[in-house]
Structure 1
Amino acid sequence: MPENKQHGACPACGGTDRFRFDNKDERGTWFCNQCGHGDGLDLVKQVLKVDIGVAASRVGDVLNGAAFTQAVSPLPARKEASDSAGSENVAARVSGVLKSTLPGSSPYLARKGLGHVVIPVLPDGRLCLALTDIRGAVCGAQFIAPDGSKKIMAGSTKKGAVWTPAPLPEKPACILIGTGVATTLSAGMLHEGVIIAALDDGNLRAVALAVRERWPLARIIIVADNDWHFPGELDERGKPKINSGKLNGEKAALAVNGWIALPPGEMKMDWDDYRQHHGIEAAKMAFTVSLREMNATKLHEARRSLGDSVVLSDEEVTELERLNQKYTHVTIGGKHRVVSMKPCMVNGKTHVFEELSQFRNYFLHEKQIAKRSQGAAWLQWPGKAYKPDGVGFYPRPEKCPPQVYNLFTGWGVTPREGDVSPYLEHLEKVICAGNHQAFLYLVGWLAHLVQRPDEKPSVAIVLKAIPGTGKGTTVKPILQMMGQYGVQVNGAGQIAGKFNATMANKLMVFADEVTVNSSREADRLKGIISEDTINLERKGIDPEPMPNFSRLIFASNSEQVLRASIRERRYLVLEPTPEHAQEKNYFDRLHNWINNDGASHLMAYLLNTDLSTFDPRRAPVTAGLVREILSNLPPAENYVYRELCSPSPFRGLARLSASEEVTRFMAQFQEEGFAMNAPAARRMMGRIFAAIGLERVGRADRGGIFYELPAKEDFEGWDAIRSSFAGMLNSAPEQVFGESFW
């Protein structure tokens, strides 16, 4: 270890002069150009490649060679007189600023549902928080703007500084130490105790030590932030992200033998977020359940045992920790399994569930732990990763119960800011054929997929065009974003057929070469598109209900793809333009974008897309959808549509005999190979004539029923009838009858 703050080799990563041990405040602080920086416990963790709990227990082994008793580090020595004068100056400045405030409700806190908190507010709406040390001496101030941006007053002392909403009592029984003001205020609503804000997680340990020195017997709870991230996610420097809120919270709790409360689930969230999202009662319960004692001695003992008299060595504990990174013990349908991620040629990786006996056999050739196989030792170890409440698929990880194994392990790509213009241009100009309204909906639909993956939009995308227009290329980066939660199939059979295991745990299904011919298939597709649950059917296994989060994209080269009903709203039907079909230069540019991290750039763009005005259930009615509807009109509607498309509808008659028109309708229907009885035909024709606004006169028993028609030259009258017919289809008249009629 380099001495006297000299540069030297890093004990963790080597080198020659990249490391410096400066030992600030006797905390063992250090800095490495490669590994980063931290305190002594961080250094032990870095060198031994273990988690913070194991690092603490190793330190305990060294201290007195036995159980580890965490000594409370003394507070830094008091500043010299000159510093004292500076502190008095800061205190005077804070006092001056506070004179400009009024007690009231902050817009920042009101937006978080904390408007009842009375706090000093400046005329411009900023919060003014007076910062003190743990004994009440003013040492600075923090300002929080209405938009949430924060700033520390120049000259403030941040280390060990706190904000409290009320004077601290003499002998508190329980003290909650949070990070920001909103998180700390929320913690006070979730658990009994005195609340103290440490401003950020980097200050938690210093504040916790100061609290422990002043109140040696108090119960200290660190209200930590869950800075969760997907496995393998990198920061802006290209290094693996860490859960800094959790790690700093654990270090603070360990330093004072305290407790930690971490928001549950695999989602970046603090306790204020959790309260807002789940409600106060659910948050109270979650807070209580999450409480975990961080007593170094107990942690040390638990990790050293297999639940019997066997004591594990450091090397054995490290090996078990390594297995924890890969395997999780779960229960499924009352049966115990070990789940892990294994390589998959199609999706990159996939979940594999194995029986306990098979899992044990993996390690027969490995070095034993406590005279048993590594698999057997891990299954017996109290510190193993264990989810006893089963498995579930929660694409919003914050909704996953803490004791349930989440089959959603993250997106297929890491979002990165970058150029998405080649893809967006392709969507608007080619896929949407210049229809800007359809383009905006399509982008919103994709953004809704990644921002709210557990909400069904109830609309599927249909791409129908000649080959070579880029339908598959369009979907490629979307499937890359989905990773193992996206799949491509051929035809609709694997989705709407009897066996639909393809749908299990999928967020995106791309079905190519689709043509829906049967009404049964069409009905099943409608349910899959809009229903929150579906029955999963596998060969040889009874059907079982499962959550249905999947979005569907269909592609086809056929003229008619769907069996669309009259008021069909479940499809956004797009007819890509053939302008660039098979054009090499055009698609080379698009493929180059995809191959250069296009999916990551698209993911970042979609995550930042504003959905405040987007309604996923209201897709625009495109000309393509209207054509699908017209191709599937029921008999009576089809008959009337043909007449209304004629320059002289209903043969130019001024009055239409109902009985004669029914006879003509039945004859036409029979010519096309169908049979229909007269009563059914009369009901159909009567319904459609009423729907388009034809005036009915006469009586069946007094000369017959007639319908009054506009004169041939009465263009407004016929326009009104055609508009009524188009309204039945939720469409514009020009979409149904063409521009020539308008």
Structure 2
Amino acid sequence: DTPLLRMLFVDTIQVDGDSEFKAPFKRLEELIGEQGKDFVASLYKIWGGESKGISTTLLQRMNAKHAVVFRQGGKMTIMTEHEDEIRYSSRYDFGMLYPKRIQVAITSAGKPVQKIQSEAWIEHDDRRFYYGIQLAPPGRKLKKDYYNLWQGFSVEPKKGDWSLYRQHLGLLVKGVPDHLDYVISWLADCVQNPGTQAGVALSFKGRMGVGKSTAAKWFGALFGAHFMHLDSEHRLLGSFNAHLHHAIVILADEAVWAAGKQGLGALKRMITEDTLSIEPKGLDVIEVDNMIHMIVCSNEDWFVPRHFDERRFAIFEVSDKHQEDHEFFGAVKKQLFQEGGLAALLYDLLEWKLTRNLRRFPDTEESERQKTHTMSAKHEWWYEQLISGAPWLDAQELP
């Protein structure tokens, strides 16, 4: 290897990227044949061709964890995959993660060329790159060159026994067969059509320890990172809600909707609207497809806005038959997570025939009670007069 040979062979090429830089080496390999493959590879590495930035090994290692993403609003950001979590950072912050200087090439004079590792990767032609980020479960078409947030179900469907969990679901509706059929149909629709929101939130009211939230969490276990358990109104409806971007199933646990009309309006839109506004911290707001299937659980007297014409909340009262029954719930958990019950549940939900219109949910006693709790003062007065049944005989002027 001499600077003169390198100048004649490499430096005379107008290099716009790795593909053009590699071209003469590929041609040389073709001319020499298989026996010269190792020689050409070593020549390519010596002359800084290996990545024109970083080594192939380092490139692959960084590509496995990071990607450059062109987000809505025209801004570039760095995406990092950490276990089942997605994080975003600016170019500057990403540089703080990889501040070390590395050798990226050798000059014709044989001197090493160095760059900060993060910059070398960002500027590399073969760095992982996406034009955007999308949640595209089955039934949703992934846009070209977009990163898909969908990770699939947590288990493979397989025939088996989940009879104890079915009993558990029966508790959520006090054993009423038609109500249980509705709940299972809702769960099946969620599994079969994860990319389309149901338009109705399952809502369960019951005492503490009756298993309502537990049932929801165990169903949510099918969705892995796409299930979110939120126990505050702020995390559900507040700003900086990037965690909702990959959500399919949300458990709003013990939430009380006391945020006024604005908060209630946001809740309703989340249940029925086709799009969802996502605001990552430090980045612009983006509009994404809304695929949220919501389950609400509470022990409060009033926990969902159920107006007379409201069709967004299917409300059920939970039986206290197994309240604090750790033996029963322990058996359900064991069947689901140790004996293949979760895979069996997924199998049967995928096979469930979707014949019900989920927006025509059962009217229950608890649903009627939620209506009275949602009434305005005027409507509540009229309702009390009608319930009391006292005759109006004195012709007094009505308020």
1:463 Cα offset (Å): 1.2
The one of 520, 527, 532 equivalent to 2:274 is 532
Residue of structure 1 equivalent to 2:364: 622
Residue of structure 2 equivalent to 1:394: 136
Is 1:472 the counterpart of 2:207? The answer is no
The one of 69, 72, 82 equivalent to 1:342 is 82
Residue of structure 2 equivalent to 1:452: 193
1:635 Cα offset (Å): 5.5
Q: How does 1:172-251 map to 2 (within 5 A)?
A: none
Is 1:64 the counterpart of 2:26? The answer is no
Is 1:351 the counterpart of 2:86? The answer is yes
CA contact (8 A) 1:392 1:405 kept: yes
1:547 Cα offset (Å): 3.1
Q: How does 1:674-685 map to 2 (within 5 A)?
A: none
Q: How does 1:152-551 map to 2 (within 5 A)?
A: 310-312=48-50, 317=56, 320-321=59-60, 323-332=62-71, 333-343=73-83, 349-356=84-91, 378-387=121-130, 389-396=131-138, 399-428=141-170, 430-497=171-238, 500=241, 502-517=243-258, 519-520=260-261, 521-536=263-278, 544-551=286-293
The one of 347, 370, 381 equivalent to 1:604 is 347
1:356 Cα offset (Å): 4.8
Look up the equivalent residue of 2:75 and give its one-letter code: K
For 2:278 and 2:250, the matched residues in 1 are separated by: 15
Q: SS of the residue aligned with 1:330? A: strand
Distance 1:510 1:61, change over 3 A: farther
Q: Deviations over 1:406-439 (max 9, x none)?
A: 23333444444432211112102x1111122221
Distance 1:437 1:61, change over 3 A: farther
Residue of structure 1 equivalent to 2:21: none
1:542 Cα offset (Å): 6.5
| Structure 2 segments unaligned to the other structure (5+ residues) | 1-25, 107-113
CA contact (8 A) 2:217 2:251 kept: no
Look up the equivalent residue of 2:196 and give its one-letter code: E
CA contact (8 A) 2:137 2:195 kept: yes
Number of residues of Structure 1 aligned to a counterpart in Structure 2: 354
1:456 Cα offset (Å): 1.9
For 1:481 and 1:63, the matched residues in 2 are separated by: 55
1:459 Cα offset (Å): 0.8
Q: Deviations over 1:582-629 (max 9, x none)?
A: 123212211212432544443333223222x23232222222111211
| Relative contact order higher in (CA < 8 Å, ≥ 6 apart) | 2
CA contact (8 A) 2:197 2:292 kept: yes
1:479 Cα offset (Å): 2.8
For 1:338 and 1:576, the matched residues in 2 are separated by: 46
Q: How does 1:1-12 map to 2 (within 5 A)?
A: none
| Structure 1 segments unaligned to the other structure (5+ residues) | 1-56, 69-300, 344-348, 667-742
Q: SS of the residue aligned with 1:399? A: coil
Look up the equivalent residue of 1:341 and give its one-letter code: E
Q: Deviations over 1:120-178 (max 9, x none)?
A: xxxxxxxxxxxxxxxxxxxxxxxxxxxxxxxxxxxxxxxxxxxxxxxxxxxxxxxxxxx
CA contact (8 A) 1:515 1:560 kept: yes
1:472 Cα offset (Å): 2.1
Distance 1:645 1:334, change over 3 A: closer
CA contact (8 A) 2:210 2:322 kept: yes
For 1:444 and 1:588, the matched residues in 2 are separated by: 25
CA contact (8 A) 2:157 2:344 kept: yes
Look up the equivalent residue of 2:351 and give its one-letter code: N
For 2:197 and 2:369, the matched residues in 1 are separated by: 26
CA contact (8 A) 2:139 2:193 kept: no
For 2:384 and 2:96, the matched residues in 1 are separated by: 72
Look up the equivalent residue of 1:479 and give its one-letter code: G
Distance 1:642 1:379, change over 3 A: closer
Q: SS of the residue aligned with 2:181? A: helix
Residue of structure 1 equivalent to 2:328: 586
CA contact (8 A) 2:162 2:342 kept: no
Distance 1:367 1:640, change over 3 A: closer
1:633 Cα offset (Å): 3.7
Q: Please identify the structure whose Cα radius of gyration is greater.
A: 1
CA contact (8 A) 1:396 1:453 kept: yes
The one of 282, 303, 315 equivalent to 1:573 is 315
Distance 1:522 1:330, change over 3 A: closer
Is 1:560 the counterpart of 2:302? The answer is yes
Q: Deviations over 1:624-671 (max 9, x none)?
A: 11121133345665455445545xx452x8xx89xx37x24x1xxxxx
For 1:582 and 1:447, the matched residues in 2 are separated by: 28
Q: Deviations over 1:495-539 (max 9, x none)?
A: 245665553432222122222345423333222221122444567
For 1:439 and 1:641, the matched residues in 2 are separated by: 31
Q: SS of the residue aligned with 2:321? A: helix
Q: Deviations over 1:424-463 (max 9, x none)?
A: 12102x1111122221221121222222122121111111
Q: SS of the residue aligned with 1:619? A: coil
Q: SS of the residue aligned with 1:578? A: coil
Q: SS of the residue aligned with 2:34? A: coil
Residue of structure 2 equivalent to 1:209: none
CA contact (8 A) 2:162 2:336 kept: no
For 2:58 and 2:139, the matched residues in 1 are separated by: 28
Q: SS of the residue aligned with 1:329? A: strand
For 2:350 and 2:57, the matched residues in 1 are separated by: 38
Q: SS of the residue aligned with 1:409? A: coil
Q: Deviations over 1:307-337 (max 9, x none)?
A: xx85449x95466445444433322243333
For 1:328 and 1:403, the matched residues in 2 are separated by: 12
For 1:484 and 1:497, the matched residues in 2 are separated by: 20
CA contact (8 A) 1:305 1:381 kept: no
Distance 1:650 1:575, change over 3 A: same
For 1:431 and 1:569, the matched residues in 2 are separated by: 20
Q: Deviations over 1:478-503 (max 9, x none)?
A: 33222222222224343245665553
Q: SS of the residue aligned with 2:328? A: helix
For 2:285 and 2:75, the matched residues in 1 are separated by: 19
For 1:475 and 1:627, the matched residues in 2 are separated by: 23
Q: SS of the residue aligned with 2:256? A: coil
Q: With structure 2 as the length reference, what TM-score do the two structures score?
A: 0.73
Q: Deviations over 1:662-695 (max 9, x none)?
A: x24x1xxxxxxxxxxxxxxxxxxxxxxxxxxxxx
More divergent stretch after superposition (495-504 vs 543-552): 495-504
